[in-house]
Structure 1
Amino acid sequence: MDRLSGLDASFLYLETPEQLMHVCGLIVLDPSTIPGGYAFPAVRAQIDRRVRDVPAFNRKLRKVPLRLDHPIWVQDTHFDIDRHVHRLALPAPGGYDELVELTSHLAGIPLDRSRPLWQMWVIEGYEGDQVAVFLKMHHATVDGVSGANLISHLCTLEPDTPPDEAGEPQATEREPGELELVGRALVRNLSLPVAAVKLLSPSVALVTGTVDRARRGIAMAAPFSAPRTMFNGTITGHRTIGFGDLDLDTIKRVKNATGTTVNDVVLTVAGGALRSYLEHLGELPATSLLATVPVSVRGASRHVGGANKVSALFAKLGTDVEDPLARLEALAEHSRHAKDHHNAISADALQDWAEFAAPRTFGLAVRAYAALRLAERHPVVHNLVISNVPGPPVPLYFMGARVRALYPLGPVFHGAGLNISVMSQAGDVHVGVIACRESLPDVAGLVRRFPEELARLAREVEGRALSDPPAGAGPGSR
């Protein structure tokens, strides 16, 4: 029996028809590298073969009676690839706009919880000869790192690598009976007060440490300190998507010249793009936007089970700073404080407290929160989520087709209707933006500002390097 962790289950409880808790990936492919040429039946057959031995692709949810505990995963004994992999074609002219419109619609459709929680659409006719794959998986099954690993499992390093040999059929695990599930749930619920007591002491120490850090000016940015923007209200179930590319070499040049990190540069570019976008609309707040940045804790967590191994930190994006280089320098300093603060927090703090999420009351609370539009009544917790997931540095092939781009797309929330996700792959940085359509209808206007802001930042860095004299240079030097 594989019980969902509290954090995994929380993504189920957070889900409503408007607040969909799946993550998506858009993969753009060059099918000309497929040995023997592209044919959808052959691609589907290979996908079927590759997902058979991966639990995330062939297990489904089973509720505990009376919702006394988090659900469990059970094997789908009637797994059918035709229920998960679908074929579509873009209408003419089959360009960026048509792909964005189609994938935005697909992103707004909830997953069927009676089946394994994933769907894939193979979309033909993108920009003539390209194929796009749109993959959707529930956040209860993956986080950013595990999602990237699952995509890598579907890929190879060479176009002609033969598919894995079919192994022995998976043995069907014994499913526990209703009484066994109830008994396990009751035992666990009886242990919760003891677990809560154990968490109180480190939690009090965390609060005390945070207050001390804030007093000394070295704490990470605080939640509920974000300015209100057009995308910080109650969301609908409609989604709009945009995607673009950044040059990884340019990002690394900026990083090396300034002594910062790739993540610092990415956040600075995002801050600049958001500043330019909101200023163009006449809606730029006087204070900086605040982003939640997910952080993987896979190497530090003591928990064995669970798909989500994440924590989070808060970062100001410097949208109140016009100069991109000054924004980068300020953001890098804030990031160092935020990382030090985050490292002082237990890697398992979020996962431990998530175990107390009650299945029934948690879901009711989320629905009441949305119905009462409370996101518009209290101070803004954060403006958006920005996720940066490192991808493979080498070219990949999806069922023999060269992967030209891989755009990640995360969920949006009531109160934060914008998500920016970034993934590096084979020398490029791919930016995926998803938003509530009513909150941010012109996502394309935001996406196209990312390469512009990176170029602007690079020019500022190069200009400073040219204006600064070499060490030891000065009047009379030779």
Structure 2
Amino acid sequence: MEHLTPFDALFLQAEDADPHASLMIGGVVVIEGPVPTHREFLDAVASRLDAVPHARQVVHGFPFDLGAPVWVDDPYFDIAHHVGRTTLPALGDEAALDRLVGHVMDPRLDREHPLWKCWIVEGLPDGRWAILAKMHRCMAGGLSGARLIELLCDYEAGARVVTIAGPQPKVSTRSLSDVILEVIDLALSPRRQAAFMARQLTSPIRLTRTSLQVIRGLMRYGTDLFAGSSAPVLNSHLGRHRAFAAARTSLDDVRLIRDTFDTTVNDVALAAIASALPVPVRADEILNAIDNRISIMVPSLPVEVADPVARLLAVKNRVSTHEFSAGTEAEHAIATLAERWPFAPVAWTVQMAARLPQRAIVAVGANIPGPTEHRKFLGRRIVEILAVAPISTGSSLSISIFSYAGRLTFGVHTDFGAIPDVGAIAASIEQEIARITEAARRVQQRRTTGAKRYEHLTS
């Protein structure tokens, strides 16, 4: 038996608070070359499962949340249930692939089975095909997005292929009843609860400091979270349908911007996102950005600034002042609560908070660094990788940022009922980076011209 980590368990609690929430992460891997047979693809996926935690396990919760959910082996695991194949309509293009991604991200995964699925997608332009995959966010705990992509790629000496003859059950050595009894004992045992309280009381200074950190972090984060906003469209209740589109840019252009204006790649990405938010918002509007390490930032995006370069510099300033303030304290507060207190009250608190209306967070973003060189799958070259971040309860937009082989891509994932024209957001991101790139080139040209004039005057 293995308990879910506190953060992973709370993802499930947040999802349970909203019947339309689906906290799935997704990925699209576009590949060139011949499409493998279904058996080849099954074998390739099976050969990589051992490296993915809980790929053959299911989540079991407990009545009244008396204990954190646990991972238990699925005795009827059948990889064929998780691996599929589909084809885009005739004359399939990027828009058709985007529509498929939105459709796939609609429903939740069945918790009676391991929480992942993947498909081969045929019919892309230029003879290309894709792998489309999704898994529940709680499965990715401890694995970065980049690491998950690395697991998919071929090994240096070629792909490791394990032939499978059919479903291979993996029977747990412990029954579910044993697991339930152990968790109930852990949650209800007076001896264990007394030991827990004794450990806390033996260090009153630590207990006081921890309590103050929790209160301060939650109060600062809560002030931002429930502050008023004029962005009701992006904060509407989630519907049943999703939409997806991708924005693409050259990583060289982003690095030129970074070096010219002394910012970071993350600053450039946030500035582009700020330009794309399609609603009027206050100057102190915020965006909750969570990377693959669950590090929370709450910067105030300068969506009210019209000039692209001025907006970029404002992002730089605001991120630097917010990066280690309320968001970091909130992260520490939530982690402390989840790790040091009984699971049930923490779970109930998370579910209650997820149901409260909030008008401040308009989007969730994930920044994932991928491989710097082109990789292969079954000997075929991987052309492009797109990431899909989940949509949080109370927000209708998520934007994932993924770097791969010299390109930076933005996966824009929306609730269709709130933002049907997801392509407009993707297009705005591309246009904004193009505008800042042009400004950076003009600055570099002026610097070069000035340096040449100085050299001429001093020669």
Tell me the TM-score range normalised by the shorter chain: 0.7 to 0.9
Q: Where do 1:230-309 residues align within 5 Å?
A: 230-274=233-277, 278=278, 283-287=279-283, 289-295=285-291, 309=293
Q: Structure 2: how far apart are the matches of 1:65 and 1:156?
A: 43
Q: Where do 1:298-447 residues align within 5 Å?
A: 309-341=293-325, 345=329, 348-355=332-339, 356=341, 362=347, 366=351, 374-375=356-357, 380-447=359-426
* Deviation of the 1:261 alpha carbon: 0.8
**Match in the other structure for 2:26:** 24
Gap regions ≥5 residues in structure 1: 297-308
Contact 2:26 2:389 (8 Å CA) reproduced: yes
Contact 1:232 1:416 (8 Å CA) reproduced: yes
Give the secondary-structure state (helix, strand or coil) at the position aligned to 2:299: strand
Gap regions ≥5 residues in structure 2: none
Give the secondary-structure state (helix, strand or coil) at the position aligned to 2:297: strand
Code of the residue aligned with 1:440 in structure 2: it is I
Q: Does 1:470 align with 2:444?
A: no
**Match in the other structure for 1:112:** 110
**Match in the other structure for 1:201:** 209
1:180 to 175, 179, 182: 182
Deviations 1:285-339 (A, max 9, x none): 353541111145xxxxxxxxxxxx5230101222111111111111112222223
User: CA separation of 1:131/1:174 partners in 2, compared to 1, >3 Å: closer, same or farther?
Assistant: same
Contact 1:226 1:383 (8 Å CA) reproduced: no
Deviations 1:43-82 (A, max 9, x none): 1221122214533311111223553111110112221111
Q: Structure 2: how far apart are the matches of 1:228 and 1:148?
A: 35
* Deviation of the 1:136 alpha carbon: 0.9
* Deviation of the 1:396 alpha carbon: 1.5
Deviations 1:399-451 (A, max 9, x none): 33322111111111232110000110111112101111011000011112222
Tell me how many residue pairs correspond in the alignment: 440
User: CA separation of 1:41/1:325 partners in 2, compared to 1, >3 Å: closer, same or farther?
Assistant: same
* Deviation of the 1:96 alpha carbon: 2.0
* Deviation of the 1:18 alpha carbon: 0.6
Give the secondary-structure state (helix, strand or coil) at the position aligned to 1:56: coil
Contact 1:233 1:417 (8 Å CA) reproduced: yes
Contact 2:24 2:136 (8 Å CA) reproduced: yes
Q: Structure 2: how far apart are the matches of 1:209 and 1:120?
A: 38
Give the secondary-structure state (helix, strand or coil) at the position aligned to 1:252: helix
**Match in the other structure for 1:300:** none
Code of the residue aligned with 1:285 in structure 2: it is V
Q: Structure 2: how far apart are the matches of 1:140 and 1:321?
A: 37
Q: Structure 2: how far apart are the matches of 1:52 and 1:239?
A: 31
**Match in the other structure for 2:158:** 161
Code of the residue aligned with 1:10 in structure 2: it is L
Contact 2:218 2:333 (8 Å CA) reproduced: no
Q: Structure 2: how far apart are the matches of 1:343 and 1:361?
A: 19
Code of the residue aligned with 1:237 in structure 2: it is R
Give the secondary-structure state (helix, strand or coil) at the position aligned to 1:163: coil
Q: Structure 2: how far apart are the matches of 1:53 and 1:166?
A: 17
Code of the residue aligned with 2:430 in structure 1: it is P
Give the secondary-structure state (helix, strand or coil) at the position aligned to 1:321: coil
Contact 1:411 1:419 (8 Å CA) reproduced: yes
**Match in the other structure for 1:149:** 147
Q: Structure 2: how far apart are the matches of 1:107 and 1:195?
A: 43
User: CA separation of 1:325/1:418 partners in 2, compared to 1, >3 Å: closer, same or farther?
Assistant: same
Q: Structure 2: how far apart are the matches of 1:210 and 1:165?
A: 48
Return the structure number with greater helix share.
2
**Match in the other structure for 2:127:** 129
Q: Structure 1: how far apart are the matches of 2:186 and 2:208?
A: 25
Identity of aligned residues (%): 27
Q: Structure 1: how far apart are the matches of 2:343 and 2:186?
A: 15
* Deviation of the 1:249 alpha carbon: 0.5
User: CA separation of 1:440/1:357 partners in 2, compared to 1, >3 Å: closer, same or farther?
Assistant: farther
Code of the residue aligned with 1:424 in structure 2: it is S
User: CA separation of 1:192/1:330 partners in 2, compared to 1, >3 Å: closer, same or farther?
Assistant: farther
Deviations 1:367-417 (A, max 9, x none): 8965xxx52xx5x23111121111111212223332211111111123211
Contact 1:143 1:310 (8 Å CA) reproduced: no
User: CA separation of 1:448/1:344 partners in 2, compared to 1, >3 Å: closer, same or farther?
Assistant: closer
Give the secondary-structure state (helix, strand or coil) at the position aligned to 2:393: coil
Contact 2:14 2:393 (8 Å CA) reproduced: no
Code of the residue aligned with 2:256 in structure 1: it is R
Q: Structure 1: how far apart are the matches of 2:71 and 2:218?
A: 37
User: CA separation of 1:234/1:343 partners in 2, compared to 1, >3 Å: closer, same or farther?
Assistant: closer
User: CA separation of 1:144/1:98 partners in 2, compared to 1, >3 Å: closer, same or farther?
Assistant: farther
**Match in the other structure for 2:4:** 4
* Deviation of the 1:343 alpha carbon: 9.8
Q: Structure 1: how far apart are the matches of 2:65 and 2:183?
A: 10
